[in-house]
Each structure stands twice: as C-alpha cells, then as structure tokens.
C-alpha cells in the first residue's frame, strides 16, 4: 500500500500539469486573435506556459495547424519518471482545436 502511495505521489503532479496544459491549449485555440499570430510567437507562448508548469516541452515538439480562421495545436512530449526500481517514460499528447 505504501508503494502505491509513493508511485501515485510521483505520477499525479505530472498528470495534473498535463491537464492544466491541455486547458491552456484549449483557451489559446478559442482566442480569436491567435489564428492570425505568427507561428514563432504561438510556439513561444506554448513553450513558456509548459515551462511554468514544469513540463519538458521544446518548440520542435509543438505542431500548429490552421484552417478557415481556426487554430489547432498538438504537442507531444515525454517525461521520464524514476521509480527507484525502474524508469518509466510517460508519453503525453495534449491537443486542441477543430478535429
């Protein structure tokens, strides 16, 4: 039982951070001025927010798409978690926009 609590304590903050990041991406895609902003500016905004949340996101991991004045964003990143007996890689793929 204690082992499960320790593992949960290590994993839960990562999932909460990803959830907050997902919400940020959704808000970003819903803002009417963002589809007309340059890609570099949008990537910088996304990477900065990820850094604030402690997520290891680099600009090369951010994919932007545009269609009919709509913005879509997809980010793929991996977090390595050391669980004392082994290391597990958690793969996250938050995205927002029209699908």
Tracing tokens 């039982």 back to the chain, one arrives at: 1
The β-bridge partners of 89 are 80
Largest CA distance in the chain: 52
Q: Mapped to the 3 state alphabet, what secondary structure does 12-34 carry?
A: HHHHHHHHHHHHHHHHHHHCCCH
Rounded CA-CA distance 95/99 in Å is 10
pLDDT tens-digit profile of 50-79? 999 999 999 999 999 988 788 999 999 999
Q: Quote the pTM value.
A: 0.88
pLDDT tens-digit profile of 26-44? 999 999 888 889 999 999 9
Domain ranges of the chain: 2-96
């Amino acid at each position: 039982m204690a082992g499960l609590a320790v593992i949960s304590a290590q994993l839960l903050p990562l999932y909460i951070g990803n959830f907050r990041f997902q919400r940020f991406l959704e808000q970003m895609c819903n803002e009417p001025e963002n589809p007309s902003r340059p890609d570099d500016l949008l990537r910088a905004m996304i990477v900065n927010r990820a850094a604030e949340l402690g997520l290891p996101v680099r600009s090369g991991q951010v994919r932007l798409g545009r269609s009919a004045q709509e913005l879509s964003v997809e980010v793929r990143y991996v977090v390595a978690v050391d669980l004392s007996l082994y290391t597990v890689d958690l793969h996250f793929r938050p995205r927002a926009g029209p699908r």
